[in-house]
Chains A and B, each alone.
Chain A
């Protein structure tokens, strides 16, 4: 299965080596605990390797396994300066213009859910990836993989949604592709959209830009898309009044960037939720992120469903929420700009960037204690977008 034997042995050898270097055997006290924690930090920074022989659902969850797969397989194969930042969109220079390029595939199940359908996600998701890169989204491609037997009426419904979403976002679908696979594959309909946009603003956004003193802002209540999908699957016999938050954020972002030029980074919180983004910021910037549980907006329904199922809303997908890292002195202006728009009505400052505990995301609980918010292992809610 995996070469568990060899890397267990290696870890043991490392431990012995470390103990020898430290010059003393296992002793008591926090010093030794700190040594262990340092050793773990070093282990976490090691070159990523995919240990599994087969792809598992974890690889699609947006958490640790996804990141390892991307770094160890895709980045390794395609490595170049444009890919390495691994941001939501690549920043290209074409004949003097700055152009952003992104792609996303949509495999959500069920296809239709309260608040939207796979078509809405396919347009809004890609528009948002461009918008958080500082680009004005312009054109999309749309590739469809359809299952034999899929009702044409459903396809028309989906393209109708895409048309409406494109209009709201101000983009056009200018090229596409269609493939059909046998019954049993593609689960009805999979869609891939790629998008390009022009970066007009004089901003350079990137999670690596975050600095101590910056504020972390979220544009509204979290976890709504994920919980909607979970309930829409109908396996859990749970009823609740909740809809997906899928929405195009380019308008909101344009307002934000005008009002607060000190925005360092923007991300849209999809798979893996807000927690995943916070970790990406901490890692890329080599800084600490400290957020306050009290400050994170969560609707009562999302809280209730999460408690019922034992999941943490911080890891639940959104499809119309952004996380912004903003220079501390511009946090007020940023918040005001967000509040001025319906999509940003619930925006809040949830925390800040610190120089304490670099690379780690800490949460001050409502209770007053502190704990780590790490990347997700495994996948509580598969096929969420």
Chain B
């Protein structure tokens, strides 16, 4: 029920301002973007899709920041593992 997945906006439908075509991994579907009327997405932007509606825009900067945090943690972990390996050799 909470099923929401990210999709990229491809284009708006010409005669219907609240409909847009999105692409999810090569699968295209028309969804309703009426809930984003205050700040409609542009083609190329990503949105979160739930039961045929776009609920929110996906903020690429925030996504990048989240990934960076994870990379950081991942790197620290990898570094520590390496350190442990190195110390075990002696």
Physical contact A–B (CB less than 8 Å): yes
Interface residues of B (CB under 8 A from A): 3, 5, 7, 24-30, 49
**A240 & B28 in contact (Cβ 8 Å cutoff):** yes
Quick check: B5 and A240 within 8 Å, CB to CB? no
Contact call B26/A241, Cβ cutoff below 8 A: yes
Q: Is the CB of A300 within 8 A of B29?
A: no
**A85 at the B interface (CB under 8 A):** no
Q: Which residues of B contact A310 (CB under 8 A)?
A: 3
B29 A307 Cβ-Cβ under 8 A: no
Q: Which residues of B contact A305 (CB under 8 A)?
A: 24-25, 27
Q: Which of B3, B24, B26, B27 has the most CB of A within 10 A?
A: B27
- Do residues A304 and B27 form an inter-chain contact, with CB atoms below 8 A? yes
Cα of A304 to Cα of B24 in the assembled complex, Å: 5
Residues B28 and A238 in contact, CB atoms below 8 Å apart: yes
Report yes or no: A301 in contact with B27, Cβ–Cβ below 8 A.
yes
Which B residues lie within 8 Å of A307 (CB)? 5, 24-25
Query: 16 A-B contacts, Cβ less than 8 Å apart?
Result: A239-B29, A240-B26, A240-B28, A241-B26, A301-B27, A303-B25, A304-B26, A304-B27, A305-B24, A305-B27, A308-B5, A308-B7, A308-B24, A308-B27, A308-B49, A310-B3
- From A305, which residue of chain B is reached at the shortest CB distance? B27
A303 CA / B6 CA spacing, docked (Å): 13
A350 CB, min distance to chain B CBs, angstroms: 21
Instruction: Collect the chain A residues with CB atoms within 8 Å of residue B28's CB.
Output: 238-240
A239 to B21, CA, bound (A): 10
Which single member of B3, B5, B25, B49 contacts A301 (CB below 8 Å)?
A: B25
Interface residues of B: mostly helix, strand, loop or mixed?
strand
The residues of A that contact B24 with a CB separation of less than 8 Å are 304-305, 307-308
A190 to B5, CA, bound (A): 37
Asked if A236 is at the interface (CB within 8 A of a chain B CB), the reply is yes
- A31 interfacial by beta-carbon distance below 8 Å: no
**Cα A305 to Cα B5 with chains together (Å):** 11
Decide yes or no: A301 and B29 within 8 Å by CB, A307-B5, A308-B5, A310-B3 being known contacts. Answer: no
Minimum distance in angstroms from A235 CB to a CB of chain B: 12
In the complex, how many angstroms separate the beta carbon of A239 from the nearest chain B beta carbon?
Answer: 4
Residue A3 lies at the interface, judged by CB distance under 8 Å to chain B: no
Find B25's partner among A236, A237, A239, A300 (CB 8 Å cutoff): A300
Q: Which of B7, B27, B30, B49 lies in contact with A240, CB distance below 8 A?
A: B27
Chain A: CB-nearest residue to B29: A238
Q: Which residues of the other chain, A, contact B26 by a CB distance below 8 angstroms?
A: 240-241, 300-301, 304
Q: Give Cα A305–Cα B7 distance, bound, in whole angstroms.
A: 11
Residue among A236, A240, A303, A310 with most chain B CB within 10 A = A240
Q: List A contacts of B25 (CB < 8 A).
A: 300-301, 303-305, 307
State in angstroms the CA–CA spacing of A237 and B29 once bound together. Answer: 6
Q: Which 10 A-B pairs have the closest CB atoms?
A: A304-B25, A304-B27, A240-B27, A301-B26, A304-B24, A239-B28, A238-B29, A305-B27, A300-B25, A310-B3
CB of B12 to closest CB in A, whole Å: 15
Q: How far is the CA of A238 from the CA of B30 in the complex (A)?
A: 7
Neighbouring A residues of B29 by C-beta, 8 Å: 236-239, 308
Nearest chain B CB to A303's CB is how many angstroms away? Answer: 6
Cα-based distance from A239 to B49 in the complex (angstroms): 16
Give bound CA distance, A240 to B7, whole Å. 14
Within 8 A of B (CB), among A290-321: 300-301, 303-305, 307-308, 310
